[in-house]
Structure 1
Amino acid sequence: MCILSTKKTSIKLPNTLTKILKLLQEKGAKPILVGGCVRDHFLNLEIKDYDIEVFHIEDFETLTKYLEQFGKVKLVGKSYGVLKLSVDKQEYDFALPRVEKKIAKGHKGFEVISNSYLSFKEAAIRRDFTINALGYDFINEEILDPFGGLEDLENKTLRHIDDNSFIEDPLRVYRAVQFASRFDFTLDEKSFDLCKKMVSNNDLEELANERIFEELKKLFLKSTKPSVGFELLKELGILKYYPELKALIGCEQEPEYHPEGDVWIHTLMCLDEMAKIKTNDEYKDLVLFFAILCHDFGKPLCTKVIDGKITSHKHESLGIEPTVSFLEKLTNDKKLIADILPLVKYHLSPFQLYLHNSSDKAVKRLALKVDIEMLCLVCLADCLGRTIEDKCKCHEAISWLKNKASQLEVTNSGPKAIVMGKDLITLGFTPGVLFKEILDYAFDLQLDEDLPKDLIIEKIKEKYIKG
């Protein structure tokens, strides 16, 4: 990572944003790009979000009038006063400089005072970390760095700015975790101690689940090494809120299959492997990361030594209950949870089918329970997330199942029944208990014997129609 040492630099901006900034300057305002867009420029990352603080302007009404010349403007985050401008399929966030004061619990418990005549340093002290307190003066092509953020970027250090403002929002502890993970940075010693103190003081208990979920989501989707963040969760003592994760620490595994160590170590290795093979579809990847995080939650419930071997029989099915318990602490999204659970329950199936060279019908029945393409990714991360020597078998097993599923056309969903209720009505049956029995019988013939529809109908007649 190369960090520019000079404070004179040029950040390439979208043409429309350049025009807006020049207009604001002509009107006597001083627009400064702030936060993640400046940080990401120096990290050589793609800039996706642009935040601009506008100094030396009278009020929001005046700013809105100028911005409306370029596109649709709406006020969001009412308490913080952020104007979102939509133009050319891009959104830009504009705000006046402000100071914040904590007056009540929760992320809405702040008194916000906008003041466009603050100095940049006065306005930036409310931010969490030095690397997020950088500014870019577009007009003068100058980087504003009041707290040493450039040096911290160079040293790969995550350092908070101010003790008093930092502790006002406990979410910043989770933000420390996700930033350290995303950028593979080390949390500064004083920042680490402050975060740990906040955890010890139970400050995190006021946080809404959905805010925590969003930080974990960023950790998963934007990190190349999610293990860094989860190890930091452990070191800071945050796992006291997640006993399902804490139970993995010290849960031993059979060295023949898991020479890397306990379930915690294995799980962190799996997370890093998932980061390498993710799909880049945001929803799918979120499902995959949570599935691999939870895939061995059942092991602490059943691990025992039998004949000198460490075993965890049925851990995949036993993991469902703690997985639900864990996920419900973070989200109310029932579809997300429902999509994760079968990946946990059947994460061993690809290897089991491969080792037994299972039949087509076994693959079809598996496809009725779980998305095989997604399951293969979970299984692959599980296999690669260990220090075994022969990892070629990981890819062999997955390729075998993927090829089978593709041939059978059940990669993402199970086979559809070819004999339907209307077919039974045509044969003279009426809906009822027997109706379902016959449909199940027909579907079994379809799956297990691969019979076409006309032969299945004949079998139904032979079995259920007398005379």
Structure 2
Amino acid sequence: MDITLPPRLMPVFAALEQAGARILLVGGAVRDSLLGLPVHDWDLEVSGLSENRLEACLAPFAAHRVGARCAVWVVAGAEIALPQSGGIPDPHLPWSIAARRRDFTVNALAWDWRTGQVLDAVGGLRDLQEKRLRMVRPDTFVEDPLRAFRAARLVGQLNFHLDAASVGICQKLAVALPELPAERLRKEWEALLLRGRNLRRAWDALAQTGSIQAFPALAALQAAPQRPDAHPEGDVWIHTGKVLAEAAKLRQDQPARDIVLMLAALLHDLGKAICTRRDARQIWRAIGHEQILAPATLFLSRYFPGAHLLSQIIPLLRWHGAPHALFHAQAGRKAYARLALQVPDRGLLLDLALADAQGAGHRDVPAITSTREIWQQLGLWETLPDALLRGEDLLDLGISPGPRLGQILRSAYQKQVLESHRDRRVLLKAMRGLFPELNLPGAPSC
């Protein structure tokens, strides 16, 4: 078998081999290469060198060591480690023994760079062929609770099934997931959402392994009913799984963009678990669920912290139903212009609205086409217009810096967009009717 390595790793390989090391490519890189999938993680296991000798070989490549006890280095986008047994590095440990500490059999495959041979000590090749995810050994598998979540993630990423024995162990492990650092869980969520090939299977595997119980707001979706005529697919849990699958079809292999879309798909209906009630006719309704944003904000703040990401996702959650509502209400162009001002990325809003509709079984979604066409006609599709009135203009008019200046600027920009102003003087004249302080004696006309 031949695996094409990243060019950046070749000097590292040459230095290690010159030092007398045996180099094994291990884990996901071997698995994905055998499956014909893109390789995302390059992990190497190096034997035949002492810990000090390996560190000296890697020093010229700006390697940095990770972990206080484990002999693991990160260099050129790859992780390089010595074989270990019981957490203790052993440069002479055979792969057949080292493989026992890995999580799943399909991740316990190794590729010898020198010979091109695939090493399989635990039946990983057979499981790969049968599309089965199976733990290597129960006694070592339980060392890391994160493996319960990873099982669900890999089920969706590989489109495999999880064997029964592994399910039982994962359910016991999942109880400890809330105790793990949020950063470790974030990485698994990110991989699940960005790499998943079968998101519905991954979503159900989160429930199957018990991992979803670590995220109460998401687990609550399993008990949230929906009106059958609008959502024949079932409850909010089933709907969310379908929306995730539809959103995955709209990924563009742009991680910064795609993670916003996928997180919005994951969180878009959290409010339904809180506000769903029967109306006077005993029909389930979730009126106002788009306005219940606290559960999503809490999830993002813990696992995907950062004001920028929050500012992108929360408006999508708040307005994901608006394109459909405006279309069915036959709203005017000003209403569509107002919606355009609510979200940083109009394309992402329409992608989320489309995935939401298709997740409910609607293939033909005229509201999406109509909204896009109206925004294009208004010049609001690709980018919003530059502001005609700027802060320096208001300072020249004698407005002092402070909250009031910001209020006037926001109001001016909204008026500019909603009324399609193109001339600064005309806009300023309209604003003087709203803000008396713009009518100072002798003030320039901008």
Within the alignment, does 1:144 sit opposite 2:114 as a pair?
no
CA shift digits 1:417-442 (9 cap, x unpaired): 32234434544555688766765664
Query: What SS does the aligned partner of 2:157 have?
Result: helix
Aligned equivalent of 1:378, options 352, 358, 368:
352
Match of 2:23 in 1: 31
13-22 vs 399-408, which deviates more? 13-22
Query: Where does 1:243-392 land on structure 2 (aligned, <5 Å)?
Result: 243-303=216-276, 304-318=278-292, 320-370=293-343, 371-388=345-362, 391-392=363-364
Within the alignment, does 1:420 sit opposite 2:381 as a pair?
no
* Aligned positions, number: 435
CA shift digits 1:340-368 (9 cap, x unpaired): 11111101111122334433332332222
Match of 2:71 in 1: 81
Match of 2:194 in 1: 221
Shift of 1:182: 0.5
Query: Where does 1:94-105 land on structure 2 (aligned, <5 Å)?
Result: 94-100=80-86
Within the alignment, does 1:454 sit opposite 2:425 as a pair?
yes
CA shift digits 1:345-403 (9 cap, x unpaired): 10111112233443333233222221211111110100111234xx22x2x32222223
Q: Distance in 1 between matches of 2:39 and 2:205?
A: 26
Q: Distance in 2 between matches of 1:63 and 1:243?
A: 44
Identity %: 34
Shift of 1:153: 0.4
Shift of 1:81: 2.0
CA shift digits 1:208-265 (9 cap, x unpaired): 1221111111000000222212211212333333222222224222222211111111
Structure 1: runs of 5+ lacking an equivalent: 1-8, 101-111
Q: 1:74 to 1:244 in 2, by over 3 A?
A: closer
Asked if the contact 1:368–1:415 (Cα under 8 Å) also holds between the matched residues in 2, the reply is: no
Q: Distance in 2 between matches of 1:421 and 1:15?
A: 50
378-387 vs 396-405, which deviates more? 396-405
The letter for the 2-side match of 1:45 is L
The letter for the 2-side match of 1:230 is W
350-359 vs 378-387, which deviates more? 350-359
Q: Distance in 1 between matches of 2:300 and 2:432?
A: 48
- For normalisation by structure 2, the TM-score amounts to 0.88
Query: What SS does the aligned partner of 2:74 have?
Result: strand
Q: Distance in 2 between matches of 1:313 and 1:177?
A: 32
Query: What SS does the aligned partner of 2:128 have?
Result: helix
Q: Distance in 2 between matches of 1:433 and 1:382?
A: 38
Q: 1:169 to 1:430 in 2, by over 3 A?
A: closer
Q: Output the aligned Cα RMSD.
A: 2.8
The letter for the 2-side match of 1:47 is V
Structure 2: runs of 5+ lacking an equivalent: 442-446
Q: Distance in 1 between matches of 2:396 and 2:11?
A: 70
Asked if the contact 1:365–1:414 (Cα under 8 Å) also holds between the matched residues in 2, the reply is: no
Q: Distance in 2 between matches of 1:442 and 1:21?
A: 61
Q: 1:223 to 1:460 in 2, by over 3 A?
A: closer
Asked if the contact 1:248–1:264 (Cα under 8 Å) also holds between the matched residues in 2, the reply is: yes
The letter for the 2-side match of 1:206 is E
Asked if the contact 1:31–1:55 (Cα under 8 Å) also holds between the matched residues in 2, the reply is: yes
Q: 1:245 to 1:115 in 2, by over 3 A?
A: same
Within the alignment, does 1:191 sit opposite 2:177 as a pair?
no
Q: 1:145 to 1:381 in 2, by over 3 A?
A: same
Shift of 1:283: 2.2
Asked if the contact 1:369–1:414 (Cα under 8 Å) also holds between the matched residues in 2, the reply is: no
Asked if the contact 2:149–2:211 (Cα under 8 Å) also holds between the matched residues in 1, the reply is: no
Shift of 1:135: 1.0
Query: What SS does the aligned partner of 1:292 have?
Result: helix
Match of 1:108 in 2: none
Shift of 1:147: 0.3
